[in-house]
Amino acid sequence: MSVPPDGTAVVTRTRAPRVGPALAVVAACATVVALLGAGVRADFGAQLRVDAEVGEALYAGDDRARALDWLLEALTAPGLAVVRYALAVPVLVWLVRRAAWRTAAWVVLAAGFVSPLTSLLKDAFGRVRPAFEDGGARYDSLSYPSGHSSGIATLVAVGLLLAWPLLAARARRRWLAAGVLAVLVVGLTRLWLGVHFLSDVVGGWALGLGWTLLTAVLLGALPGGRAALR
């Protein structure tokens, strides 16, 4: 509440966060991760066939040009944990200087712990990487869910939730479109590089989005919440 010079009290209100829809999305994302993971563990035929067919169709091949390989590696890089941490550090410094401690804690929780969570799920489901006739990437790490996909989904979701209260309607639409494009591109690069199955990518997207929204609900980081920027 503020009091102008004439002494009339003016009450300013902020819109309460819409927790219900956020929790519905969290539940949907958790369902996707669980169902795809169950399909992996049970060798569900339809899922495996789609994974194999899409993987074969999109894999860029072992003999791809070096320039194409560099391009794909550059496009997939935003999904790396080190990129997420590098972008989070200046944001955290800015938040700390604003004394936005709750918001900073949310950024650390959401952006910092999605990778360990992804690793736990990889170990739980135990899926090996795609194998191709000419060899493929031959990664030793496990495949489901995709860490790059969960990482980019988390990065974009955290960025959008942080900036949303500060953006005009037109800017919101533009940044949302740019964020969705980034998520799609990183996910597709995992298929073009032949290092993940389609269900790995979709499961990673669902994990990153669900995890970000869950932590935002818990710490009040949804627009209008205690940790939201104003």
Tell me what pLDDT residue 15 has: 64
Tell me what pLDDT residue 163 has: 96
Running DSSP on this structure, what letter comes out for residue 10?
B
Tell me what pLDDT residue 10 has: 43
Ordered by start, the domain boundaries in the chain are 19-219
Tell me what pLDDT residue 9 has: 47
Local structure of 58: helix, strand or coil: helix
**Continuous H helices in 79-197:** 81-97, 101-125, 147-163, 169-192
pLDDT at 45 over 50: yes
How many whole angstroms separate alpha carbon 213 and alpha carbon 154?
Answer: 9
Separation in Å, CA 139 to CA 30, 199, 205: 26, 17, 21
Beta bridge partners of 10: 2
Residue with tokens 């004394």: 99
Give the residue among 206, 226, 230, 204 at the shortest CA–CA distance from 217: 226
Instruction: Kindly list the catalytic residues.
Output: 148, 196
How many whole angstroms separate alpha carbon 209 and alpha carbon 156?
Answer: 9
pLDDT at 7 over 70: no
Taking phi first (over 0 means left), then psi (-120 to 50 degrees means alpha), and beta for anything else, what does residue 7 get? left
Residue with tokens 């999904």: 79
Q: Can you give the pTM of this predicted structure? A: 0.90
Give the residue among 73, 36, 35, 30 at the shortest CA–CA distance from 51: 36
